[in-house]
Amino acid sequence: MLAQNKLMLGQTLPPLTVETLVNGGAGLARYEGRVVFIPHTCVGDVVKCRITKNKKKFLEAKVCEIVRPASARRQPFCSVAGDCGGCQWQHLPYSEQLYWKEKLFRDSLMHQCAVDSDKILPIIPTSNEWGYRSRVQIKCHNTATGFTTGFYRPKSHQIVSIQECPIIASELNILLNQLRCAITSTSFADDIPQIDLNVDDYNCCSAVIHYFGYDIAALSIMLKRENFSAALFIKSPSEKKILNLSGNSTLQIVVDQPPISLKYTVGSFAQINLEQNRVMVDKVLELAELDGSEKVLDLFCGMGNFSLPLSRRAKYVVGFEESAASINTARINGRLNGIENVEFYHQSAEGALDCCKSNKQPDLVVLDPPRSGAFATMKELVASPVKQVIYVSCDPQTLARDLKYLVNNGYELISSTPIDMFPQTYHCESMTLLRYPC
Which residue in 78, 165, 394, 428 is the catalytic one?
394
Give the list of residues 6+ apart from residue 152 with CB closer than 8 angstroms, or none: 85, 139, 158, 159, 160
d(CA 239, CA 410): 50
Tell me which residue of 372, 431, 380, 369 sits closest to 405, measured CA to CA. Answer: 380
Is 394 considered catalytic here? yes
Give the list of residues 6+ apart from residue 7 with CB closer than 8 angstroms, or none: 51, 54, 59
Give the list of residues 6+ apart from residue 297 with CB closer than 8 angstroms, or none: 317, 318, 320, 352, 353, 356, 362, 364, 365, 366, 386
Annotated catalytic residues are: 394
